Amino acid sequence: MRSLSFVPLVGGVLPLFFPIVHSKPASFAVSIRGGGVKFVDGSLTAGNIGVSTSNNNIYFTQVTLGGLNLTLQLDTGSTDLVVIRQGRDINLVKSTDLSATEDFGKGHAVGNVAFADLQIGEFTIPGQAFVDVTEAQQLSQVGDGIIGMAFNAPEASAIIRTLSTALGADAGAQLGNTPMPRLFAQQPDLPDSFDVLLGRTDGLGDTAQGTFLIGQHADGFEQVADAPQLTSVGSPDHWSVVLDAMNINGRPFAFDASTFQGVPQGKVVALLDTGFSLPPIPAAAVDALYSSIEGAAFDSNSGLWIVPCNSSASLSFVFGGQEYFVHPLDLTTPMVMQPSGSAGPGVTVCTNTFQPLTLDPTAFGTFDLILGDAFLRNVYASFNYGDQDTAPFVQLVSTTPDADRAMQEFQQQRAAALATLPPTVDPSVFVSGGSGSSQPGQSQSVPGQPGQPGQVISVPGTTITAQGSSGQSVTIPGITIPGITISGITTVAGVTMPAQTLPAQTAGSSPGQTSESSGQKISTQSPGSSTSSGESSASTQATQNGGSAPNNKNGAGRPEAFKLGGVCGAYVLYKMLSVFVL
């Protein structure tokens, strides 16, 4: 996946050895506010370097490189140290003109290989190799760059390959050795492991703190040492382990055969990757999971599942014979959509966090699926690089051991979060009526008494023809219709906007025709349809007549034509939040 180019080394051959310096324990914490990052004073637990998130999408840790404080994405799915310093001064030990390209699952970076002293928590690694980025694409959300925590094989490291091409394989491997393997190689008494515990925001606070430890286990999680050792399989690029089963509401999902030879039938290989916010798994598994939630609706245009925000399913993964539940809060993500042309608060929908796998696993050769942050928030994970006698392995301890308690927490925390957001909308309504599609809605005819005045009423995505006797009400079960007064006929099935008085039509009049009795033309465009001039109809918005539309029993008025194309727009915004590095 990675490519590179190189030019002659500047300054001659670099020294081939940089000693490890053990310094004072770090005393700092990371606080993230909104989309930005700032540092605040504070003391972390001894040895805890710390990892933080503000949105459950990206997890950052703080390091110091060449005297420059950096906030880097902590990524178990990549290998190299990649720094976007944007012109800020840094004290380099050595610079080169060797250009390397880092290709990730999403985005890439190009820069010269350089060397500077790296401090991670209580450890300083003099002369650590890194990519000094001069060009980056689709990496705007990774702070000051990425610190890779995977393996130092040439297949995984663009830095090692670049230096090996210029200086030879031995020099490239030694000079380009990545931070964690290099630290352990030069600190033989330090256990060759690092532990990660990712925090979860509750939708109300703006920061969630977690744990990042090197060579030790956190207090209260010492039992991780007794957990099954999940041996890393496949090529030495990633932390990939065998997944025994995926259970949906207590029933195992039937995976297709693994792409790896030797993996038992029914089992697959899962990559544990903190750089993936939304875990990609087979599309059939995604559909099986979210279709099991009552009221969920699939949008074929965007490929998103829209799920009732207060509903969930039971999901668990089995590794080494032990079951690890996923908290319901990690199955869906609330999103706010703004109706087109409205200054109102918009509506809230909830979308699936587990996504269909679109990457080609055979291109990486290390996984059948990826379990990213939405899974890893539910475990305390210890990653061990192994030694000459022991293959690398991962050990896990569940942080969501009680599924019933987790569901109670979900109901409480999701309700509290939704209370701060605009009203929710029914998934089927959003998918069928709030897509902003230019296609006309479906027609449903509700017969009345022949020869009596009638009227065509438009609701998002559906055209309903209602006829009835003067002075009577027409009720259409299962469909919410705005309150509209038509020659004494009031249709009210959940009022979503103020009543309007329109002239009557004789029975059989066509929508949009001029009524003979009134001489007026009545528009029957659905809010998501196109007008005759090709512009989107704005006959109904979230706010009517200067006031907010009342809510129906589902918590919101019906969504209209949404910015960015309704659910397709939601998909665009959702993917903007979907951050992953591989």
pLDDT profile of the chain (582 residues), mean per 10:
32 35 30 26 54 81 94 91 90 91 76 93 92 77 85 85 91 90 89 94 75 93 97 83 97 94 92 93 97 94 90 97 97 82 78 89 75 97 92 96 94 93 90 48 36 37 38 39 37 35 37 36 28 29 28 24 36 41 49
Residues 301 and 383 in one domain: yes
Tell me whether residue 356 is in a domain. yes
Residues 465 and 412 in one domain: no
Pull the structure tokens for residue 291: 């279709």
3-state secondary structure of 261: coil
CA distance linking residue 84 with residue 68, whole number of Å: 12
Residues 276 and 328 in one domain: yes
Residues 68 and 104 in one domain: yes
Pull the structure tokens for residue 376: 């890893």
* pLDDT of 363: 61
End-to-end CA distance of the chain: 10
Picking from 141, 175, 197, the residue at the C-terminal end of a domain is 197
Residues 361 and 413 in one domain: yes
Angle at 331 between CA 330 and CA 333, to 5 degrees: 80
CA distance linking residue 214 with residue 504, whole number of Å: 76
* pLDDT of 370: 94
* pLDDT of 343: 66
Q: Which residues pair with 111 in a beta bridge?
A: 100, 133
Tell me whether residue 232 is in a domain. no
Tell me whether residue 374 is in a domain. yes
3-state secondary structure of 272: strand
Q: Count Cβ neighbours within 10 Å for each residue of 406-428 and write b for 16 or more, e otherwise.
A: bbebbeebbeebbeebbbbbbbe
Q: Count Cβ neighbours within 10 Å for each residue of 249-277 and write b for 16 or more, e otherwise.
A: eeeebebeebbbeebeeebbbbbbbbbbb
Q: What are the residue ranges of helices labelled H in 135-265?
A: 158-167, 169-175, 179-186
Residues 421 and 442 in one domain: no
CA distance linking residue 477 with residue 496, whole number of Å: 16
Q: 414 phi and psi, to 5 degrees?
A: -65, -40
* pLDDT of 133: 87
pTM for the model: 0.70
Picking from 137, 171, 197, the residue at the C-terminal end of a domain is 197
Q: 63 phi and psi, to 5 degrees?
A: -135, 170
Quote the number of domains for the chain. 3
3-state secondary structure of 568: helix
Q: Which DSSP string do the residues of 28-47 spell out, in sequence order?
A: -EEEEETTEEEEE---PSTT
The parent domain of residue 361 ranges over 237-433+570-577
The 8-class DSSP code of residue 330 comes to G
* pLDDT of 510: 37
Residues 369 and 242 in one domain: yes
Angle at 257 between CA 256 and CA 258, to 5 degrees: 115
Tell me whether residue 50 is in a domain. yes
Residues 427 and 448 in one domain: no
Picking from 197, 217, 247, the residue at the C-terminal end of a domain is 197
Return the HEC string of 117-159: EEEECCEEEEEEEEEEEEEEECCCCCECEEEECCCCCCCCCHH
Residues 401 and 463 in one domain: no
Neighbours of 444 (CB within 10 A): 13
Q: Which DSSP string do the residues of 337-374 spell out, in sequence order?
A: E-BTT--S--EEEEEESSEE--S-HHHHTS-SEEE-HH
Residues 324 and 284 in one domain: yes
* pLDDT of 501: 35
Residue pair 95/107 in contact (Cβ under 8 Å)? The answer is: no
Tell me whether residue 6 is in a domain. no
Tell me whether residue 443 is in a domain. yes
* pLDDT of 95: 92
Pull the structure tokens for residue 85: 């310093």
Q: Which residues pair with 526 in a beta bridge?
A: none
Residues 412 and 465 in one domain: no
Length of the chain: 582
Residues 385 and 309 in one domain: yes
Residue closest to 422 by CA, chosen among 334, 336, 329: 336
CA distance linking residue 139 with residue 118, whole number of Å: 22
CA torsion sign for 359, 363, 366, 367 is positive
Tell me whether residue 517 is in a domain. no
Residue with tokens 């230019």: 438
Tell me whether residue 272 is in a domain. yes
Angle at 121 between CA 120 and CA 127, to 5 degrees: 30
What CATH code is carried by the domain that includes residue 297?
2.40.70.10
Residue closest to 119 by CA, chosen among 14, 26, 201, 242: 26
